[in-house]
Structure 1
Amino acid sequence: MYVQNSLPFEEETTVFADLILPVPIPKLFTYRVSRAMNGLIKVGARVIVQFGKNRVITAVVGKLHNTPPTNYQAKYILELLDEEPLVMASQLELFRWMAEYYLCTIGEVMNVALPSGLKITSQSKVQYNPDFDYAELLTEEEVGLLEEIKKHQALSYEEVARLVEDTNVNAVIKSLVGKRAVILFEQVKEKYKPKIARKVRLTPAYASGAALNVLMKELEKQPKQQEVLLRYLSFVPVQNNPALNQKGLDKAVFTQEENSLSSSLNTLMKHGIFEPFEITVSRFADIPDTPTVEIKLSASQQGAVRQIQEHFQDKEVVLLHGITGSGKTEVYIHMIRQALESGTQVLFLLPEIALTTQIVVRLRKVFGDKMGIYHSKFSDNERVEVWKGIIEGKFQFVVGVRSAVFLPFTNLGLIIVDEEHETSYKQFDPAPRYHARDVAVVMAYMHHGKVLLGSATPSLESYYHAQQGRYGLVEMFERYGDAALPEFLLIDIKLEKKQRKMKNEFSSVLLDYMQYNLEHDEQTILFQNRRGYSPYIQCEECNWIAECNNCDVSLTYHMKVAELRCHYCGHKEQVPRTCPNCGSPKVKTMGFGTEKIEDELHLIYPNARVQRMDMDTTRAKNAYQQIIQDFENEQIDILVGTQMVSKGLDFGNVSVVGIFDADRMIHFPEFRASERAFQMLTQVSGRAGRRAGRPGKVLIQTHNPAQEILSWVIQNDYRRMYDTEISEREQYNYPPFTRLIKLIVKHTDRDTAQRAAAQLAEKLLAELGPSRVLGPEPPLVERVRNQFLFEILIKLEREKINFKAAKSFIQDKVTDILTDKTLKNINVVVDVDSM
């Protein structure tokens, strides 16, 4: 019986969504939600939309409402990708803050935040138009191509290009579209794919003991098939426990190239004895399910934990200043465990992947499968799995590099930023040009959590905040397990050269200590913060130097691949046999990098096991891990590396650390040079003598042993370095007393770039004054990727100026320059809290 609804008819309202698109445009875009999608769509979900004429992109829902846009017709959302939000409300709040603080767009933040595996790709396809019936309009080539398209239903651009051979594919497709013979459409694919395990198991009829006995006798005349069954039972003993059959066995066990039984397995499946099935598995299956190690704290570490907890009562951020080898990692582990037991999530940030390799192994032994790992060497699929694992509650604790600040945490109780002084936490390109340490502090505030910053050589900013009482301060000045700080030797290179004791880049003192180590099975680390074989090549006759065509820098010689490379734009070229300028064959390498040191070590110590760790040797996914594992297992005698070898690595058998080219770091023309040189030298020195009873030696090769900064490093006197530097910073208005905003004006024409920079500086000076605006000046490298650069540095006092209003003013003036019709194709990079 039909009963009419007594409720009055309610008109359905149209729903609109403001979407965050991964484009550098400041506003959100409003799209229309279809009736079928209404009620299903949620803020934070991903959608597919058409943007422009032919572009199909992934967007994130920022807001749902009922107000149509006033100045354009809203397009419909094409597809909803997520039933539940993949971007949390707390993340959207962070994205908005980052866009505002770092003077970029929320779309740029989202583009960096989402792993590419969560973004959709679109691929143009060509489809036959079923309404087409004017075949006489087509050329012979077009007729043949159309038949292929009809046969396959649709072809991609690449497939069409292969069919038309040398013909211009765009011209052919354009002609077919104009004659209405084909239709263009976008085939959208989601990048992320779960990892699938292909398995087999016995069908239920054969999974019992009695049936197996019968089957075994039946297969006696088929030895290969019987071998399949026996192999299965050796891994899955269903005769003892039939329930095990449900989990089955990986198909790969039978299909390996050696002793392959794939044909026999297929026969058994065809006869209904085995059945294939698939399951989704984790890409992190090697993580142990349960903890295997219990951490015991020393008295000093227990005291540090107690002080951190006390500071957290009234401070949001605590700085843990612990000398190298003091056991900060064990303190971190204790704090992580406490946070997890309280039911909150934990993020542990590390500056580089090199650090994650060794520390992750230690953390896995303590936290098992509760821990996720997130860094750029992971594949798209692995990063997406961690992202979704956090949402599903699988990972309560994540170890990651700076991009891990974008993960979808909802209940973040503790963020640990290890080696908080590291410049690797700062992103320089693309926007947002954020500092992960600073973002971590804001994240913790949003989640009502706490931040623990750790370093043996804290940044001046963090230590200043601790001295001012904004942060809590806990200090550890003893090495763990009674290990002694290393002994330093300053080697005067000028004197060694005068006495003719140098062997290429090696002083006689360094060679003697390395020889001793080799004879006594102890390990050596050599630090040179420059990769490649040689920084440049030069002609002895005319002084010609090989330079990059796109940048104002010399090309670095890489001997192993026999190439000259630009470390700014990636340009590569062959090494000339003669000087291109004068024709002389006297073209020689000048200076030295890690590759040259490695090469010379092979000549000096032919029997030594030498390995190099820099960007060139660690490009492969597991290269870091392999090198560190080999060094830890004492399969490497001498490890040569860039700053990668300085960061948090813990090797008990390293008794000598050699440092090359310390003077270049100390005298680099930048206001942070002394601070960074102290940090780098102290950190790399800390790799020596980390085992009790075996004090290490640190040998620093320098042209001036009397430099004050070297005495600070030798005495491990962070406080003297801090006092000296902080006094200079205050005098000349540098951080932490001011905030720096760097504007980099770029253009392919030098005069245009200089004119635009001068106009921008003039606009800024009118309001901010000459004490706050420096420049414009060309940087050390004036041209990069064929663009000329001019820099303007803005200093804004922390106390006397409204930072938000000042940034808004700066953004307006940058927009004035970008929209000036007399300055076409100008680009301005805005770097807030410039390093």
Structure 2
Amino acid sequence: MNKHTQHLYADVIIPLPLPQLYTYQVPEEHARNVQAGCRVVVSFGKQKTITAIVQRLHHQAPEHYRAKPILEVLDDTPTLNDLQLSLFAWMADYYMCTPGEVIQAALPSALKINTQSFISLVPGIDIEAHTLSEEERRIVALIQKHEALQYEELSRKVRNSRLYGLLKQLQDRGLIDIFEKTKERYTPKRQRKVRLAAQWLHDKNALNELLSSLEKQAPQQWYALLKYIEASGILRDWTRNESGVEKKSLYATDARIKEAAIQALIKKGIFEEFEVEVSRFAAVDADKLLPPPTLSPAQEKALQQIVKAFFEEKKDIALLHGVTGSGKTEIYIHLIQQALESGSQVLYLLPEIALTTQIVQRLRKIFGDKMGVYHSRFSDNERAEVWRGVQSGRFSFVVGVRSAVFLPFDNLSLIIVDEEHEASYKQHEPAPRYHARDVAMMLGKLHYAKVLLGSATPALETYYHAQQGRYGYIALQERYGNAQLPQVHISDLRTAQKKNRLQYSFTPELYEAIRKRLEAQEQVILFQNRRGYSPYLYCEDCGWIPKCRFCNVSLTYHMHERALRCHYCGHHQGAKGTCQACGSTRVRNVGIGTEKIEDELKLLFPEARVARMDLDTTRGKEAYQKLIDRFEAHDIDILVGTQMLTKGLDFEKVTLVGVIDADQLLYFPDFRAHERAYQLLTQVSGRAGRKDSKGEVIIQSRHPEHPVLLDVQQQTYEQLVTRELQERQKYNYPPFVRLIGLQVKHSKEEVAHAAAHDLVEQLQKQLGKARILGPDIPLVDRVKNYYLRNILVKIERQGIHLGSVKKYIAHCIQQLTLQKDYRRLLVVVDVDPA
């Protein structure tokens, strides 16, 4: 037999930033089980073992090295399907990263085990209640001695070649947690139950005698046993005893039963106690599900136009351009229902966790248990549960943020990308630096699924492609339920300052409007796109401004914590009342953050209930939901916040929205600044005046005549688009060209500077000077002790091969980093930077 065909080999993806696949030999005992997409344990390097993914199987031995054997196969059925493997390969190629980086981003940590993983016992678990093998008991005993034991250390102590498989068995049985130390630890939701011991089953005489005996000698135990018989229904069906009854429910709902009585029945061997792991996702009673909402004539027309675009005009992608409050979600619900009834799967993407909370509650009432939710506030174990739920068919419909594109769908027919213009669909760190909207389009292509993009303020690129006929286009220009669009006023900050008429940060117009709304017992939302108390502190005597030790940026002052924080690297230090340069006490805060607005409101309106919604107040898993619930219940009169407030929230008593400072949006140095400012201001304006009440929006600016503000006021999106497209065509920006951003990073400024110039020079040799911008020094030119230089590559959409350009860029970067002086250089590649 030919040496190349006698053994089975697997090319595997190592979840590390490595540019190639690695070939391993498949031992005979695993040859029948292993498939493409399976997780396997392999040794990598000298002492490292790691979970890898099989990309393909073949009979060709590697030419330049001896293939190591696969140590274990972790899956009976593949964790990744063929469509996922195809998508991930495309992502690695398109976004110029490695397959390992895609896998690292795609798989929840609970599905990866590596030398950095930690293992602990599930809190509260009763190990003695479980039958374990001798090997499993030894592992559990070692883990019990520590709060959490690193895999590497456990491996040294156990020295068992089957360690991965044993850990997987213990994890599947709910006895151990496997987690990353940096991640929040997850405690599975567990339920303690009781059931009748086997000796009392199937013998009614024995059970009757037991009841008679207990009635005389222990009445409370007798009553508890009767309660169990009734709750379990075992007299109608003995098999119901197997699943038992929740222990707590026997005494928590009936004051006549004490926990001690239950414990006594367990001690006597009448009850046996056991524990089960239950889903974190509460079951929804199928009988209580609601039908899809009734559509208005305008919504019904839009729905028919979407169906026509998809199936008559043969468009795979369509844009639903609906004004804020037009009821796009109701249309989505009807489309989802149709897709699910056809037996296929649906993915509904939202840009941020902030949006999912309210929408999930609505959708759960209609779609019940067939709907899963997937986002980063879930622990790794919860995300793994959703992953497995999609694989098993438990969830045929998933609502999620950008990472939901990685889930193991095998039969998608519809993908909805809501608020498709949102910048948070773009992943910035780490690689892959993907845009979920664009990945969703490729996912749709692989599944032959339809993709619906929805927005009140579409991205210019999306709108342009729709107008060019590449996508279907559906306009929905009226609000649901005849609700009126809010009245937008622009308040002149500059004039109010000159005339000394400001009330803290509020112009007279905004102050008076807030006062009136509070008197009418209505609610107010105030938007300021900067958290903290003030952007920086300033010494009036010597000009000192506290800066981050690791980044070239001023530290933001957080007064409630009495701390200075860097919003780039997270460094923080105490805020002292004196200047650290000259000792002066004349240190004042400059600028306005959400924290300062909150304090000013409490001074101006002491009777009002004020709350703040930003990254600092919503860090906890339930914090965001609690704020929403309080605002919805009208326990809060004024809600101050950052961009979180702009995301599709719907509160019927909000009649006023105020924008504290629009200028920081308008004058941000980015070619998308005007587009983003329009989108953000329009979105936050849409929070005002739903249902029966007409809303009011007051935007404070020092430049009230700015054309973008006038576009927001007059709802002239097309006017903004025309103006912006002319500018972008003139200066070669998307949608007329593609962009690839390169960021050169080094711990020494002179090395970063020299390397960036050398890279530009090399790129220009093949691509020419017109296609390369830079190197430029960014506004913040040092982050986490790395000095930064930016390069921008512009590539025409026609007449040049994008793949060849990317290969040339990768080649130039590789040649640069091989030079002795640039060995520690980092070059970050960002395709389609947002």
Task: Specify which of 301, 304, 307 is matched with residue 306 of structure 1.
Answer: 304
Task: Within 5 Å, give how 1:377-392 maps onto structure 2.
Answer: 377-392=377-392
Which deviates further from its counterpart, 257-266 or 671-680?
257-266
Classify the secondary structure of the residue corresponding to 2:821.
coil
Q: Is 1:44 aligned with 2:42?
A: no
Match of 2:218 in 1: 222
C-alpha contact (below 8 Å) 1:556/1:565 kept by paired residues: yes
Offset at residue 154 of structure 1 (A):
8.8
Contact 1:782 1:789 in 2 (8 A): yes
- Contact map agreement 1:49 1:56 (CA 8 A) in 2: yes
Residues 63-102 of structure 1 aligned to structure 2 (within 5 Å):
63-102=56-95
CA deviation digits over 1:254-294, x for unaligned, max 9? Answer: 69899995654344234331123444432212444352243
Query: What is the aligned partner in structure 1 of residue 125 from structure 2?
Result: none
Residues 4 and 61, structure 2, Cα contact 8 Å, conserved in 1: no
Q: Report whether the alignment pairs 1:103 with 2:99.
A: no
Amino acid aligned to 2:262: L
Task: Report whether the alignment pairs 1:813 with 2:812.
Answer: yes
Asked if structure 1 preserves the Cα contact closer than 8 Å seen for 2:440 and 2:451, the reply is yes
Could you list the per-position Cα deviations for residues 563-619 of structure 1 after superposition, in whole angstroms to 9, with x for gaps in the alignment?
111000000100023111000011121111111111222222222221111111111
Moved more, 632-641 or 253-262: 253-262
3-state SS, counterpart of residue 557 of structure 2: strand
Instruction: Compute the RMSD of aligned alpha carbons.
Output: 2.8
Partner of 1:665: 665
Distance (whole Å) between structure 2 residues aligned to residue 462 and residue 294 of structure 1:
29
Which deviates the most, 473-482 or 24-33? 24-33
Q: What one-letter code is carried by the residue in structure 1 that aligns with 2:348?
A: F
* Counterpart residue type for residue 795 of structure 1: K
Alpha-carbon distance in structure 2 between the residues aligned to 1:258 and 1:746: 66
Name 1:656's counterpart in structure 2: 656
Determine if contact 2:656/2:696 at 8 Å carries over to the other structure. Answer: yes
Q: Is the 8 A contact 1:738 1:798 kept in 2?
A: yes
Could you say what secondary structure the match of 1:736 adopts? coil
Tell me how far apart the structure 2 counterparts of residues 370 and 154 of structure 1 sit (CA, whole Å). Answer: 39
8 A contact 1:756–1:823 mirrored in 2: yes
Query: Does residue 600 in structure 1 map to residue 603 in structure 2?
Result: no
The answer to whether the 8 Å contact 2:739/2:833 transfers is yes
1:478 aligns with 2:478: yes
**Would the alpha carbon gap of residues 263 and 35 (structure 1) be closer, same or farther in structure 2, given more than 3 Å must change?**
farther
Shift of 1:478: 0.3
1:201 corresponds to 2:209 = no
Q: Helix, strand or coil for the counterpart of 1:739? A: strand
Distance 1:472 1:193, change over 3 A: farther
Give 1:329's aligned residue. Answer: 329
1:282 and 1:656 mapped to 2: Cα distance?
A: 41
Q: 1:256 to 1:430 in 2, by over 3 A?
A: farther
Gaps of 5+ in 1: 1-7, 126-150, 163-169
Q: Distance in 2 between matches of 1:182 and 1:239?
A: 49
Q: Counterparts of 1:27 and 1:157 in 2: how far apart (Å)?
A: 39
Cα distance, 1:204 vs structure 2 = 4.8
Q: For 1:152 and 1:229, how far apart are their aligned partners in 2?
A: 38
Shift of 1:508: 2.1
* CA–CA distance in structure 1, aligned partners of residues 596 and 541 of structure 2: 23
Q: For residues 636-671 of structure 1, what are the alpha-carbon distances to aligned partners after superposition, in whole Å with 9 as ceiling and x for unaligned?
A: 111111001101111111100000110110011110
What secondary structure, in the 3-state scheme, does the structure 1 residue paired with 2:28 have?
A: coil
Q: Which moved more, 1:187-196 or 1:255-264?
A: 255-264
Task: Give, in angstroms, the shift of residue 156 of structure 1.
Answer: 8.0
What is the aligned counterpart of 1:284 among 281, 285, 295? 281
Alignment partners' CA distance in 2, 1:407 and 1:782: 37
Q: Tell me: CA distance 1:327–1:123, structure 2 relative to 1, closer, same or farther (3 Å).
A: closer
Does structure 2 conserve the Cα–Cα contact (< 8 Å) formed by 1:123 and 1:156? no
**Counterparts of 1:34 and 1:811, CA distance in 2:** 36
Residue 239 of structure 1: how far off its partner (Å): 5.1
Distance (Å, rounded) in 2 between the aligned partners of 1:729 and 1:11:
56
User: Is the CA contact (8 Å cut-off) linking 2:13 and 2:54 kept in structure 1?
Assistant: yes
Out of 12, 16, 21, the residue aligned to residue 23 of structure 1 is 16
Q: Deviations over 1:716-758 (max 9, x none)?
A: 1110000000111101000000000000000000000011100
Contact persistence 2:292–2:334 (CA under 8 A): no
Taking the aligned partners of 1:497 and 1:295, their CA distance within structure 2 comes to 49
> How far did residue 47 of structure 1 move?
1.1
AA partner of residue 532 (structure 1): G
Change (3 A) 1:566 1:256: farther
How many Å apart are 1:61 and its aligned residue? 0.8
What's the CA shift for 1:465? 0.3
Between the two proteins, the alignment pairs up a number of residues equal to 786
Q: Give how far 1:48 is off.
A: 1.2
Cα distance, 1:345 vs structure 2: 0.7
How much does 1:769 deviate?
A: 1.1
How many Å separate the matches in 2 of 1:497 and 1:760? 48
> In 1, distance between residues paired with 2:111 and 2:667?
44
2:524 aligned counterpart, secondary structure:
strand
Secondary structure of 2:29's match? coil
Aligned mates of 1:518, 1:440 — CA distance in 2: 44
Please, which moves more after superposition, 267-276 or 220-229?
Answer: 220-229
Are the aligned partners of 1:193 and 1:381 in contact in 2 as well (CA < 8 Å)? no
Deviation at 1:351, TM superposition (A): 0.1
1:268 paired with 2:265, answer: yes
Residue range with higher mean Cα deviation, 212-221 or 49-58 = 212-221
Take 1:183 and 1:41, find their aligned partners in 2: how far apart are those partners? 24
Aligned to 2:243: 247
The answer on whether the counterparts of 2:283 and 2:368 sit within 8 Å (CA) in structure 1 is no
Q: Which is worse superposed, 87-96 or 627-636?
A: 627-636
> 1:247: how far off?
2.8
Q: Which moved more, 1:90-99 or 1:185-194?
A: 185-194
Aligned counterpart, 1:793: 792
Q: Give the superposition deviation at 1:210.
A: 5.8
Q: Per-residue deviation at 1:503?
A: 1.5
Q: C-alpha displacement at 1:211, in angstroms?
A: 5.0
Cα 1:199–1:467, aligned 2, differ >3 Å: closer, same or farther? same
Letter in 2 for 1:302: E
The question of whether the paired residues in 2 share the 8 Å contact of 1:322 and 1:455 is answered with: yes
What is the CA–CA distance in structure 2 between the aligned matches of 1:152 and 1:307, rounded to whole Å? 61
CA distance in 2 between counterparts of 1:464 and 1:740 reads 17
Report SS of the residue matched to 1:312.
helix
Matched with 1:131 is none
1:608-619 alignment, distance < 5 Å? 608-619=608-619
Q: Distance in 2 between matches of 1:667 and 1:83?
A: 56
Q: Deviations over 1:22-65 (max 9, x none)?
A: 01111111111112111111111111111112222111111111
- Secondary structure of the equivalent of 2:367? helix
| 1:556 Cα deviation from its structure 2 partner | 0.8
Distance in structure 1 (CA, Å) of the matches to 2:144 and 2:219: 51
Range that drifts further, 453-462 or 276-285: 276-285
* Cα gap change, 1:753 to 1:400, in 2 (>3 Å): same
Rounded to whole Å, the distance in 2 between the matches of 1:95 and 1:824 is 29
- Whether 2:464 is the aligned partner of 1:464: answer yes
Paired residues of 1:744 and 1:792 also in contact (CA < 8 A): yes
- Deviation (angstroms), 1:227: 5.2
C-alpha separation in 1, matches of 2:827 and 2:49: 28
Residues 493-512 of structure 1 mapped to structure 2, 5 A cutoff: 493-512=493-512
Deviation at residue 441 of structure 1 after TM alignment: 0.5
Post-superposition offset of 1:79: 1.3
Distance apart, 1:487 and its partner CA: 0.5
Matches within 5 A, 1:122-137: 122=115
Aligned-partner SS, 2:51: strand
Does the Cα contact within 8 Å between 2:5 and 2:59 map onto a contact in 1?
Answer: no
Residue 418 (structure 1) aligned with residue 418 (structure 2): yes
Shift in CA distance, 200/573, structure 1 to aligned 2, threshold 3 Å: same
> For residues 677 and 15 of structure 1, do their structure 2 counterparts lie closer, same or farther at Cα, with a shift above 3 Å needed?
same
Q: Distance in 2 between matches of 1:777 and 1:271?
A: 79
Query: Given that residues 292 and 330 in structure 2 are in contact (C-alpha distance below 8 angstroms), is that contact kept between their aligned partners in structure 1?
Result: no
